[in-house]
Amino acid sequence: MTSNTTASDDFKLRSFASDNNSGAHPAIMQAVVEANHGYMRAYGEDPISEQADAKLKEHFGQDARIHYVTTGTAANVLGLRAVTRTYNSVICSSMAHIHMDECGAPEAFGGTKLVTIPSEDGKLTPGMIAPYLGHVGFVHASQPKVISITQTTEEGTLYTPDEIEKLVHFAKDHDLLVHMDGARLANACAALDCSFFDLTTALGVDLLSFGGTKNGLLMGEAVVFLNPEIGEGFQYLRKQGMQLVSKMRFVGAQMLRYLQDDLWLQNARHANDMAKRLAHKAGELEHVTIKGEVQSNGVFAQIPPEATEILLEKYYFYVWDEHSHTLRWMTSWATTEAEVDEFVADIKKAVEQVK
Amino acid sequence: MTSNTTASDDFKLRSFASDNNSGAHPAIMQAVVEANHGYMRAYGEDPISEQADAKLKEHFGQDARIHYVTTGTAANVLGLRAVTRTYNSVICSSMAHIHMDECGAPEAFGGTKLVTIPSEDGKLTPGMIAPYLGHVGFVHASQPKVISITQTTEEGTLYTPDEIEKLVHFAKDHDLLVHMDGARLANACAALDCSFFDLTTALGVDLLSFGGTKNGLLMGEAVVFLNPEIGEGFQYLRKQGMQLVSKMRFVGAQMLRYLQDDLWLQNARHANDMAKRLAHKAGELEHVTIKGEVQSNGVFAQIPPEATEILLEKYYFYVWDEHSHTLRWMTSWATTEAEVDEFVADIKKAVEQVK
Amino acid sequence: MTSNTTASDDFKLRSFASDNNSGAHPAIMQAVVEANHGYMRAYGEDPISEQADAKLKEHFGQDARIHYVTTGTAANVLGLRAVTRTYNSVICSSMAHIHMDECGAPEAFGGTKLVTIPSEDGKLTPGMIAPYLGHVGFVHASQPKVISITQTTEEGTLYTPDEIEKLVHFAKDHDLLVHMDGARLANACAALDCSFFDLTTALGVDLLSFGGTKNGLLMGEAVVFLNPEIGEGFQYLRKQGMQLVSKMRFVGAQMLRYLQDDLWLQNARHANDMAKRLAHKAGELEHVTIKGEVQSNGVFAQIPPEATEILLEKYYFYVWDEHSHTLRWMTSWATTEAEVDEFVADIKKAVEQVK
Amino acid sequence: MTSNTTASDDFKLRSFASDNNSGAHPAIMQAVVEANHGYMRAYGEDPISEQADAKLKEHFGQDARIHYVTTGTAANVLGLRAVTRTYNSVICSSMAHIHMDECGAPEAFGGTKLVTIPSEDGKLTPGMIAPYLGHVGFVHASQPKVISITQTTEEGTLYTPDEIEKLVHFAKDHDLLVHMDGARLANACAALDCSFFDLTTALGVDLLSFGGTKNGLLMGEAVVFLNPEIGEGFQYLRKQGMQLVSKMRFVGAQMLRYLQDDLWLQNARHANDMAKRLAHKAGELEHVTIKGEVQSNGVFAQIPPEATEILLEKYYFYVWDEHSHTLRWMTSWATTEAEVDEFVADIKKAVEQVK
């Protein structure tokens, strides 16, 4: 994953690099501003965080226990650490964020062994996992405890409810838990026309890293335990994991607003729509190939490498795979139709210039 | 540390419990709002964070390397982990936040052994430390590497520049580093009429946990390496330590504004002044004893326990030491003279009622 | 703890430094030699190790689960790790081996926070522990889970059955476990005329580091879980903790022989007797002060420092406390009466020479 | 890896399961017995251990620093931990012992992320590694630091000196270290007619897990740092890693004898010869396929599964790969020609019975 542009003081970045490059949705920011009055208890005992908890329970069921953290890595590492002993392993795809993009945090700060299964589209199936479960009870082998899936995946693909259900059944049959890295769960819900509940609790997912930042928050993620039998003592683990922020009200306020009036859904739908618009329009250009169907807010595309050079002078995005020269273009709640159209026009120009 | 009041949905909390119970200073919030435009690179490569870095270097010297994190625990644990091997120990006072208030994070997430030295006022001196340095080179003993001091201490006391200098000299003589937990460094600077540089870089402090949240930020701390020979690779450790927030601009914006126009100093001075006002006025009451001199923004007081019961119905604060029934009252940038005066009047009433 | 003599190729060391300086008891060595025939399954599934397990259950009760390791540090660190989560703390004396002599292993390889209580004789009482239990349920504080005691202590003192029982009751009242570092448990049994069962299982001790090496083994310790509710999955933790030796038969053979024909008891009694002989005879000398009553196989003595210099030319032992110039002299199963008497004669000469 | 036979009290095991199922070579045992006289300093400061160190330096060069441990897992985990920071990763084959057979110890007790590369024969080449080095300097990715190879591999194959040299050059070009898991290094030396030096120091290998147990020791492995720039402070790490045994003389004595009079070489040659004999004779049988060339002391074979059932009633060995029904038969210093021939005869009978 590389970008040819350099860090700069440019305040007018044009980015299709990541949904993290967008700011906060104005309504979220407004909620933060409104939370800034008077004294409140620290560390999540404030009334705003408590309201946010209640709101999350509306979405995930009354058994859910919610713990806010500030990064997706923290949600993944601490959630997985909470449900494993160090001799357990976590099964994930070879493209998983926990394996590729967290700098070894699960291993070093979670003490967790990852068992990675090669996967081109970022998804796992029971059939792919089965061969890795052979050493149960063998003292020399790390003991599998969790299947971790990402929804939507790092490759922009989706798990359908049916696919998740099959994984959950398989997991239960093998005494495993199912963890969902839901950094972009909202985009999956929007794409599949499902509620959060539909895609998690209803299917028997045990624990969830619930993302907010990529879909319009300033900073806010949560570890959500859905299975009532897990997660005991997590409040201590979060504190110890350096994630118990003092002025938690500012996280709670974001979460509360995010879940009100379907803001989360509007943002995710918009991001998905912009990705589809981009894929559709760019896909019609000569010398531009859109890889796979666009299922959420990521577009994977191939254009002539020389055209990439030209585009990177104006835009910020990643060459996702250098070998095949595949580009990743992400959209977000903030992406406008005009931005997409201008980008497509620029792609067209760049491609024409080099052909 | 206990409080008799229960968590509630009261949005009108009257708190002298912690500077963490205040919100963000309006100017800080304004900076966050203003940072919310357009796309910016994530993970600290944005222009606002880079400006904040430059501003911090103005305060701490051009050799300083600055890494933002979201909690004080993260700043302490990751900073200490960066400069130690696991067979090293960190020497601190028995009252140190890293020992008493971080749920074992330095040990469990830092792999760091703490060697605690009994200290009533939260301070350390070379004479107190010397007896703990006997086993250097003895393979069975954890090898001391860092002296960690808190400025201002957990007990509200201060280290003078001269005291810090003596500790630094002692540390260098014994091949140790000096870490400062500066969660309330601003209050110390205000009290001692010193700059940040005066109290850290100029004295030879090696690394600093630079606090912002307690003095008016929403959420923002930093690990600052001052000694040019330490801190290599910390960018990876922060990521791995789950502290690399994606939309870093919102932390950078706070830090940048905090250090402009002496906002940090005004906030800290105000908090200190309010503590002095409270100590002065409450200290004149019968049956109220202010413990020690008020050096920063914390007041430690003794009143009849029955009076505490009465006050806790209206106010939120901690019984700091149950044995001696010592209360801790903290003030902040947000505390008003009127609030102090009303509190003093209520203390007076409560004390009179029970005597 | 220092010794003025230097490491050398001297094969005729005269040592009162540690029971670790003795070799293996001939009967133990013989058992090892006899175990060396034919093929056996590795990793503890051999018949000798299984017999040793059965023998240990005779001594500790049928609920005991036994896991051999090769060092006392491993027994302590892995046993404690097995019964704690990382946010738990272990309460121990300030003289405890786990705090002073394991190079931070419990923290770094166990993730365990130690809470140390000042103790001059190495012992703990409920009254000493009570003040350290104040923050139960407070998320910022490490949560106490285990009281760890050493029997006999690092200072050569003993816990009586009654004292242990009181600690166990106190522990149960506070939802704590009791761990015994029994590196020298045999010496305690010999001194108190108790069986292993009497001093552990019968009193409700939850887990034990069972020492063998100091009392005549080549190399052999065990983690013994006595409380049936703890220790699940420890087989994986031991493997992961690098302590699952392949040719386990050679450890099992030692343990089995150690527990046959009261060998353990004879060895420990002999060591204790030699310590008493040394203390009695040396204590009669002018300018020699024996500190406290000799309860097991360690003698703590004060002589003129100049006399120590002379003795260290011929003998190997530790100056235990440099400040008070207290020496530690350890005896073992191998110490002979003649060696004691010669040592006493040499002490006499050395003292006379400098006075 | 499974075996159908159950643990039993059978003292007459017939094993081709592992070289770990053999006892200690008589000469090694004799050395242990002889080391059992008089007092010696503990923890490796004894004269025998010092002689063993000197002997190891004869074999590995005067820059080698040697640290004994009791398990191969300890050698691997602690050696790798010593040369990495937690944000580093270790590249190994998907068959590597550190990945498959150490129960997650490198991750949990080393804090090390493993990056595994699919390899059918257990070997790695620069070409296989290159695609995994793409994210150097990218803060989200664990930073590669070590290439770990096993000699001989878990699949019984060998690296030639030339292959190792190529890996070392590749490693140096990419600022990586080369670690060799040499649990069976002696077998490789015997097979390639090389000295230890030839296969390690001379080729630029940086650190080595030097195995002894599988080739005739009771218990004894070593971490050997060959590169003079690495390994600082390892003495503390070993202690902390629970591997500093007190009566180290008994490990040192084994190592010393092992390296005298080419005992290590005779043992390894014999084991290799027995494997070749077994492969040669069994390979001539109908319905028996020997997989690949036998390069060291492991034979991988395929026979009808029903024949395996019959053989497992009398013999102990592993079904190495259940899918392809591949068996692993290991020989050792203790395997006799008669045992091999009897085994071959029994294989013949079993195969004939089912065909």
Those chains having 3 or more beta-carbon pairs within 8 angstroms of chain D are: A, B, C
Facing residue for C236 by CB, picked from A43, A139, A236:
A139
Q: Tell me if B119 sits within 8 A of B154, measured CB to CB.
A: no
> What percent of chain B lies above the pLDDT cut of 90?
94
Domain ranges of chain A: 19-23+265-354, 26-262
Q: Tell me if A236 sits within 8 A of A67, measured CB to CB.
A: no
Q: Which residues of D touch C102 (CB under 8 A)?
A: 239-240
Q: Which residues of D touch A98 (CB under 8 A)?
A: none
Backbone angles phi, psi at C135, to 5 degrees: -105, 30
Facing residue for B103 by CB, picked from A38, A214, A236:
A236
**In the prediction, which pLDDT does C10 show?**
57
| CATH (residue range C26-258) | 3.40.640.10
In sequence order, the 6+-apart residues with CB closer than 8 A to the CB of A213 are A20, A72, A219, A220, A221, B245, B246, B247
Q: Which residues of A touch C235 (CB under 8 A)?
A: 139
**In the prediction, which pLDDT does C162 show?**
98
Which overall architecture, per CATH, does domain D19-23+269-354 show? Alpha-Beta Complex (3.90)
**In the prediction, which pLDDT does C297 show?**
97
| Pairwise CB contact (< 8 Å): A85 & C236 | yes
* DSSP H or E run through B56: helix B47-60
Average pLDDT, chain B: 95
One-letter amino acid at B257 equals R
The sheet carrying D289-290 orders its strands as D289-290, D298-302, D326-330, D318-321
Residue of B nearest to A14 (CA): B39
Q: Tell me if B65 sits within 8 A of B266, measured CB to CB.
A: no
Spans of chain A below 70 pLDDT: 1-11
**In the prediction, which pLDDT does D10 show?**
56
Facing residue for A71 by CB, picked from B242, B250, B334:
B242
| Pairwise CB contact (< 8 Å): A236 & C43 | no
Range D26-262 classified under CATH 3.40.50.2300: no
Facing residue for C138 by CB, picked from B1, B108, B139:
B1
Q: How close B50 gets to chain C, by Cα (Å)?
A: 33
Residue of D nearest to B109 (CA): D111
Task: State pLDDT tens for residues B185-231.
Answer: 999 999 999 999 999 999 999 999 999 999 999 999 999 999 999 99
| Pairwise CB contact (< 8 Å): A139 & D322 | no
Among candidate residues B202, B250, B221, the one with its CA nearest the CA of residue B28: B250
Facing residue for A239 by CB, picked from C43, C140, C244:
C140
**In the prediction, which pLDDT does D12 show?**
83
Q: How close A235 gets to chain C, by Cα (Å)?
A: 7
| Pairwise CB contact (< 8 Å): A40 & B69 | no
| Pairwise CB contact (< 8 Å): B322 & C134 | yes
| Pairwise CB contact (< 8 Å): B247 & A213 | yes
| Pairwise CB contact (< 8 Å): D102 & C239 | yes
**In the prediction, which pLDDT does B1 show?**
39
Residue of B nearest to C107 (CA): B107
**In the prediction, which pLDDT does A1 show?**
38
Give the count of beta carbons closer than 10 Å to the beta carbon of residue C253. Answer: 27
Instruction: Tell me the C-alpha distance between A200 and A206, whole Å.
Output: 8
Residue of B nearest to D236 (CA): B139
Q: Which residues of B touch C139 (CB under 8 A)?
A: 103
Reply yes or no on whether the pLDDT at B12 is more than 90: no
Facing residue for D87 by CB, picked from B87, B139, B233:
B233
Residue with tokens 């996967």: A119
Q: Is residue A108 within 8 angstroms of chain D, CB to CB?
A: yes
Selected residues 146-205 of chain C with any CB under 8 Å from a CB in chain D: none
| Pairwise CB contact (< 8 Å): D237 & B143 | no
| Pairwise CB contact (< 8 Å): D240 & B87 | yes
Q: How close B355 gets to chain A, by Cα (Å)?
A: 31
**In the prediction, which pLDDT does D9 show?**
44
**In the prediction, which pLDDT does A12 show?**
84
* Mutation target vs D (from B236, B242, B245, B246; most D CBs, 10 A cutoff): B236
Those chains having 3 or more beta-carbon pairs within 8 angstroms of chain B are: A, C, D
Q: Tell me if B64 sits within 8 A of B196, measured CB to CB.
A: no
| Pairwise CB contact (< 8 Å): B24 & A239 | no
Task: State pLDDT tens for residues B246-285.
Answer: 999 999 999 999 999 999 999 999 999 999 999 999 999 9
Q: Which residues of B touch D233 (CB under 8 A)?
A: 85, 87
Task: State pLDDT tens for residues A52-80.
Answer: 999 999 999 999 999 999 999 999 999 99
* Mutation target vs B (from A4, A16, A39; most B CBs, 10 A cutoff): A39
- How many beta-carbon contacts under 8 Å exist across C and D? 196
Spans of chain D below 50 pLDDT: 1-9
Backbone angles phi, psi at C343, to 5 degrees: -65, -45
**In the prediction, which pLDDT does B8 show?**
44
Q: Is residue D109 within 8 angstroms of chain B, CB to CB?
A: no
Facing residue for D140 by CB, picked from A88, A101, A138:
A101
Mean pLDDT, residues B146-158 = 97
Q: How many C-alpha atoms does C208 have within 13 Å on its Cβ side?
A: 33
Range B19-23+264-354 classified under CATH 3.40.50.300: no
| Tokens read off for D54 | 């000197």
**In the prediction, which pLDDT does D188 show?**
98
State whether residue C316 is helix, strand or coil. strand
Q: Which residues of B touch D244 (CB under 8 A)?
A: 139-140
Instruction: Tell me the C-alpha distance between D226 and D205, whole Å.
Output: 7
* Cα B41–chain centre separation: 30
pLDDT truncated to tens, each residue of chain C (355 aa)? Answer: 334 344 444 568 999 999 999 999 999 999 999 999 999 999 999 999 999 999 999 999 999 999 999 999 999 999 999 999 999 999 999 999 999 999 999 999 999 999 999 999 999 999 999 999 988 999 999 999 999 999 999 999 999 999 999 999 999 999 999 999 999 999 999 999 999 999 999 999 999 999 999 999 999 999 999 999 999 999 999 999 999 999 999 999 999 999 999 999 999 999 999 999 999 999 999 999 999 999 999 999 999 999 999 999 999 999 999 889 999 999 999 999 999 999 999 999 999 999 8
Q: Tell me if A207 sits within 8 A of A177, measured CB to CB.
A: yes
Task: State pLDDT tens for residues B77-121.
Answer: 999 999 999 999 999 999 999 999 999 999 999 999 999 999 999
**In the prediction, which pLDDT does B5 show?**
40
Q: Tell me if B109 sits within 8 A of A74, measured CB to CB.
A: no
Residue with tokens 């000699």: D151
Give the count of beta carbons closer than 10 Å to the beta carbon of residue A2. Answer: 12
Q: How close C241 gets to chain A, by Cα (Å)?
A: 10
> What percent of chain A lies above the pLDDT cut of 90?
94
Instruction: Tell me the C-alpha distance between C81 and C211, whole Å.
Output: 18
Task: State pLDDT tens for residues C257-270.
Answer: 999 999 999 999 99
| Pairwise CB contact (< 8 Å): D233 & B87 | yes
Alpha-helical (H) ranges within C23-71 are 26-34, 47-60
**In the prediction, which pLDDT does A193 show?**
98
Range C268-354 classified under CATH 3.40.640.10: no
Which DSSP symbol is given to C178? E
| Tokens read off for C268 | 């420990």
| Pairwise CB contact (< 8 Å): D108 & A111 | yes
Q: Is residue A109 within 8 angstroms of chain B, CB to CB?
A: yes
Q: Which residues of A touch B241 (CB under 8 A)?
A: 105, 109, 242
Task: State pLDDT tens for residues C273-295.
Answer: 999 999 999 999 999 999 999 99
Q: Tell me if D71 sits within 8 A of C244, measured CB to CB.
A: yes
**Helix pair angle (B26-34, B249-258), 10° resolution:** 140
Q: Is A293 exposed, middle or buried (0-12, 13-18, 19+ CB in 10 A)?
A: exposed
Superfamily of domain A19-23+265-354 in the CATH hierarchy: Aspartate Aminotransferase, domain 1 (3.90.1150.10)
Q: Is residue C245 within 8 angstroms of chain A, CB to CB?
A: no
The sheet carrying B289-290 orders its strands as B289-290, B298-302, B326-330, B318-321
* DSSP H or E run through A179: strand A177-182
Four-way CATH pick for B35-258: 3.40.640.10, 3.40.250.10, 3.30.2350.10, 3.40.190.10: 3.40.640.10
Facing residue for D142 by CB, picked from A89, A103, A112:
A103
Q: Is D251 exposed, middle or buried (0-12, 13-18, 19+ CB in 10 A)?
A: buried
Q: How close A48 gets to chain C, by Cα (Å)?
A: 19
| Pairwise CB contact (< 8 Å): A108 & D111 | yes
Q: Which residues of D touch C67 (CB under 8 A)?
A: none
